[in-house]
Chain A
Amino acid sequence: MSNIPPHKASEADKDRVFAPCRARCPVHIDVPGYLSAVAEGRFTDALEIVMQRNPLPSVCGRVCLRPCEEGCRRCNLDEPVAIAALKRAAADHGAYPLPRPMGTRPERVAIIGSGPTGLTAAHDLAQLGMKVTLFEEKPKLGGMLRYGIPNYRLPDDALDRDIGHIVSLGVETITGVRVGRDLNLDELAQTFDAVLIAAGLQGSRSVPIDGAHLPQVMTALDFLERSASGEKLDLGERVVVVGGGNVAMDVARTAIRQHAQSVDVICLESRDEMPASEHEIEDATLEGANVHCSWGPHAVIGDENVCALDTVRCTSIFDSEKRFAPEFDESELRRFEADTIILAIGQSADVGDLGINLTHRGSPIVDPVTLRTSHEGIYAAGDVVTGPTRIIDAIAHGHRAAAAIFGALVDDWSLLRELDLENTVLGEIPPHMSEMLETRRRIQMETVPFYEAIKNWGEIEEGYTEYEAAREAQRCLGCTTGARLAQEKCASCLSCMRVCPHGAPGVHVGGYMYFDMEACHACGTCASACPGSAISIEGCSPDEMVLRVQRALASPTIDQTIAFVCGHTRNALETLDPNARIVTVSCLLRVDESTVLQAFRSGAGRVAFSECDTGTCRFPHALKLVAQRERSIVSALTQIGMGDSFRIVGPASDEEAPS
């Protein structure tokens, strides 16, 4: 039969259809959810959404390696939304939630290591009410976040904000204690109901070449840690960094700030093969590092002090099976003069003193699902298990460890099961839709110019202002957050089909409506037109709108104005009554008649609609409907003698629009 309608995801299935950004995020943060909150200037709401999945928003907003952005559906249109920077905006401009653990439980959990893995597990378990004690060898918490990543990328105060919130959940912290040396693991296992090893990779790889033992040959981790601890190091004039990854770039840029006169980075890889991120290489180069590709360390030259590094040409790195097997042409030599050599060629696990079973790489052997080691009650997670990853992977592993520990101690495995739920990824923007969407470049963040930046350890990226953040977030297409249908409320009036600019709503034989998620970009036009209140758009349900108005009106005065402001124009904000209480919305169409009338009932003396500039309007097709909405509000209020209480403000001047 030819008229069988194509299968469309049912409304229930749609909960597991993720926007590609969300699907690619290892912890599946509700990206479109928080971006839409930022787009409306609701930074605290945005932060809350982020923190449902990521307890380190301030950290990840700055230094996450952003797998999400690679998947952004805008990639095919112009460039991805600045997802990470907007997370930072949420953390910078929003208020952290108050610590509210879910009750208290008797179980006690010890966590070894306070990097992102340990911090995340501590957060989750404390939030679930367990008593958590974090053991950390270093004087302060944070792992590589504090002692690896340099301050100019992640300042201590930004890190401390996240850690402060986690500790405030009631996590006990014991620093300066190395488990395995100062305390033994068995003792911990007896005192606590569960122990999590989240020790990261604290060992550094070395190269077996002549002279590698000389005192001016340092490891990256040692060098970065001493720098991060505020030590002023005497590196001499010439520094050679060995390695082609991000750590090598951090080392090079840190060496520049430690007053090295010249910094040469040498790596085995060709420029295209370098594992470091492109922008890290560019920034390091801009700051003065010279990157030399396809050279392999051959010998350190010097008797008591280093004076050079001899290298040979590296002709290839991988064998035919893509295994690491570098080949050299020893006839081509190059000497790099050096006073200090810093090796940034990889880290390894350093947990031999804990007395648990290890792989040949020195990592604890664990069950891949529960992360339990061969010992009852002892778990391991994060880089110590997986080898080097990214912060966000470590966070994901921290969640898994917490869910598994909770499962084992409480015999409730739902959290762990949830982590393994399948999801489907929303497809690309259909061609008919991309033709309709305007291209809009990413809003550039202010940065300290490199010649200033290298003078100190201050953060280079300044972060978005609230306005910039809202504007950038408005580039998000709201993938998967758009129209959801409550079939039982639908009257099959077809209004949604008639108003949608993208042809997302459709109707099956029998009058049943469906919505094509790929075509919908969450403008909300259909929901505003639906007489059955059958369509919902994430983040702007009638109840949420009422709550926002009430929050804005907290302790209203009698002639208080509530201004619904389209977040697309700043001018409007400036022309409004300075005492007006502002509710920013992505489109005025999200404010329906009931919301306006309820604002009066909640105590507002006047209501204003502050319209956007048509030039910056995100949903131009909605303009006509907004005008219709305004007429209908004016007419209703006029009928009850309140016509004067509603005002329409244009974008650039505060002239009242004719009603």
Chain B
Amino acid sequence: MIVVRRKPIDEILKMVGRHTRVMLVGCNTCAAVSLAGGQKEVDTLIELLSLAASRKGFSVEFSDAILERQCEPEFIEKLDSQGYDAILSLGCGAGVATLAGDNDKPVYPALDTLFIGSAQGFASWQAECSACGSCVLGETCGICPTTRCAKGILNGPCGGVKDGTCELGDRPCAWVEIYDRLESLGRIDDFGKTMPAKDNSISARCCEWDMTKEGDDS
């Protein structure tokens, strides 16, 4: 799932403060699941922005809408934004982009898109994937070095690891975790096999994926 987080209010207000009627659009898929873009967060943000705007002397009117998934044109079609002069999206980057592409008015992001991650219990997520386009999780027992190693190195660990902790001090060393997991699966012999450099051009070049185009189906 894509994990998102609300931007600071000031930053949001800078974008929408100059408009008079703004529609906040939530997304009931990943953004809701990461507790930042569902109905509740839309309602809260409206209250917060209204309060902030009135303190700054802006007169902005806010209203709400929820889409099942903002990244799908068919869901967006249902959105009636007539009479609004801006849209504030509580979706991930893909949602903002899709809304913006489908609209004649400015669309602003209320959230920052953080990563593709997994839930660690209530209101807590772990980054798991950076959408690099050339997955190595098979070699690393499901722990992504590109995502979870601070340096993203493919043949770790580096010399900065201390007692299993990354030299940044904020996370366990991904490579120590990979080592432990290989060992527990009886695959310790695979450790240290040099992985070839990833083809970074894949993610850079892969700006769309269209199975209907000839030559694109694999």
Chain A residues proximal to chain B, CB less than 8 Å: 489, 491-495, 498-499, 529-534, 542, 592-594, 597-598, 600-601, 628, 636, 639-642
Scan residues 15-54 of chain B and give those whose CB is less than 8 A from a CB of chain A.
Answer: 28-29, 32-33, 35-41, 43-44, 47-48, 50-52
A639 to B28, Cβ gap below 8 A?
Answer: no
Q: Which residues of B contact A532 (CB under 8 A)?
A: 28, 32, 38-40
Q: Once bound together, how far apart are the Cα atoms of A636 and B37, in whole Å? A: 16
B213 touches A (CB below 8 Å) = no
A533, A636, A639: the one within 8 Å of B43 (CB): A533
Chain A positions within 8 Å of B10 at CB level: 639
Q: Evaluate contact between A533 and B39: CB separation under 8 angstroms.
A: yes
- Ordered by A's residue number, 8 sampled pairs between the chains whose C-beta atoms are within 8 Å are A493-B33, A494-B119, A529-B122, A529-B123, A531-B36, A594-B43, A598-B47, A601-B50
Question: A172 to chain B: closest CB distance in Å?
Answer: 51
Closest 5 CB pairs of A and B: A531-B38, A597-B47, A491-B32, A498-B122, A640-B52
For the complex, what is the distance from the CA of A212 to the CA of B43, rounded to whole Å? 78
Whether the Cβ atoms of A495 and B122 lie closer than 8 Å is yes
**A495 with B35, Cβ < 8 A, contacts A532-B28, A636-B9 known:** yes
Tell yes or no: B57 within 8 A of A by CB: no
List, in ascending order, chain B residues with CB within 8 A of A600's CB. 51
The reply to whether A531 and B48 contact each other, CB–CB distance below 8 Å, is no
Asked whether A594 lies within 8 Å of B47 as measured between CB atoms, the reply is: yes
Residues of B within 8 A of A531 (CB): 32-33, 35-41
State how many angstroms separate the Cβ of B189 from the closest Cβ of chain A. 38
Chain B's nearest CB lies how many Å from the CB of A579? Answer: 22
Which residues of B sit under 8 angstroms from A639, Cβ to Cβ? Answer: 8-10, 52
User: Shortest beta-carbon distance, A561 to chain B, in Å?
Assistant: 17
Contact across chains for B44 and A597 when beta carbons are under 8 A apart? yes
Question: Which residue in chain A gives the minimum CB-CB distance to B8?
Answer: A639
Contacts of B44 in A (CB 8 A): 592-594, 597, 636
Listed in ascending order, the chain B residues whose CB lies under 8 Å from chain A are 8-10, 28-29, 32-33, 35-41, 43-44, 47-48, 50-52, 55, 66, 119, 121-123
Inter-chain contacts of A601 with B (CB < 8 A): 47, 50-51
Across the interface, B38 reaches (CB within 8 A) one of A498, A533, A636, namely A533
Bound CA span A600–B55, Å: 11
Known: A489-B39, A530-B40, A598-B47. A498 touches B9 (CB 8 A): no
Q: Which residues of B contact A641 (CB under 8 A)?
A: 55
Q: B7: shortest Cβ distance to chain A, in Å?
A: 10
Instruction: For A529, list chain B residues within 8 Å (CB).
Output: 35, 122-123
* Chain B residues whose CB sits within 8 angstroms of the CB of A534 once the complex forms: 39
Tell me whether A597 and B48 are in contact in the complex, defined as CB-CB below 8 angstroms, given that A532-B38, A532-B40 are known contacts: yes
Closest chain B residue, CB of each to CB of A542: B43
A593 CA to B36 CA, complexed, in Å: 13
Which chain B residue has the least Cβ–Cβ distance from A596?
B47
Task: State the Cβ distance, A603 to closest chain B Cβ, in Å.
Answer: 12
Query: What residue in chain A is nearest B37 (Cβ atoms)?
Result: A531
- Quick one: which of A498, A533, A636 contacts B40, CB cutoff 8 A? A533
CB distance from B182 to the nearest CB of A (A): 30
How far is it, in angstroms, between the C-alpha of A534 and the C-alpha of B28 when the chains are bound?
Answer: 11
> Cα distance A641–B37 when bound, in Å?
24
Q: In the complex, what residues of B have CB within 8 A of residue A493's CB?
A: 32-33, 35, 38
Residue of A nearest to B119 (CB): A494
The residue from B37, B38, B47, B123 contacting A593, defined by CB atoms under 8 A apart: B47
Contact B51 A640 (CB under 8 A): yes
For the A-B complex with A531-B32, A531-B37, A600-B51 known, give 20 more contacts whose Cβ atoms are closer than 8 Å. Answer: A489-B28, A489-B66, A492-B33, A493-B38, A498-B121, A499-B122, A531-B33, A531-B36, A531-B38, A531-B40, A533-B38, A534-B39, A592-B40, A593-B48, A597-B44, A639-B9, A639-B10, A639-B52, A640-B48, A640-B52
A642 touching B51, Cβ below 8 Å: yes
Q: In the docked arrangement, what's the CA distance between A598 and B49, Å?
A: 11
Task: Please measure, in the bound complex, the distance between the C-alpha atom of A367 and the C-alpha atom of B92, giving whole angstroms.
Answer: 66
> In whole angstroms, what is the CA distance A140 to B55 when docked?
62
Bound together, the chains give a CA A489 to CA B38 distance in angstroms of: 9
Across the interface, which residues of B come within 8 angstroms of A498, CB to CB?
A: 121-122
Q: What's the Cα separation between A60 and B9 when bound, in Å?
A: 54
Provided the pairs A639-B8, A640-B48 are in contact, do residues A491 and B28 lie with their beta carbons within 8 angstroms? Answer: yes
Q: How far, in Å, is A636 (CB) from chain B's closest CB?
A: 6
Nearest A-chain residue to B46, judged by Cβ:
A594
Question: Distance (Å) between the CB of A492 and the closest chain B CB?
Answer: 8
| Distance (whole angstroms) from the CB of A220 to the closest CB of chain B | 62
Q: How far is the CA of A628 from the CA of B8 in the complex (A)?
A: 18
Chain A nearest CB: distance from B46 CB in Å?
Answer: 8
Cα–Cα, bound, A593→B43 (Å): 9
B36 proximity list for chain A (CB < 8 A): 531
Residues of A within 8 A of B122 (CB): 495, 498-499, 529
Determine the chain B residues whose CB is within 8 A of the CB of A494 once the complex forms.
119
Residues in A whose Cβ lies below 8 Å from that of B47 = 593-594, 597-598, 601
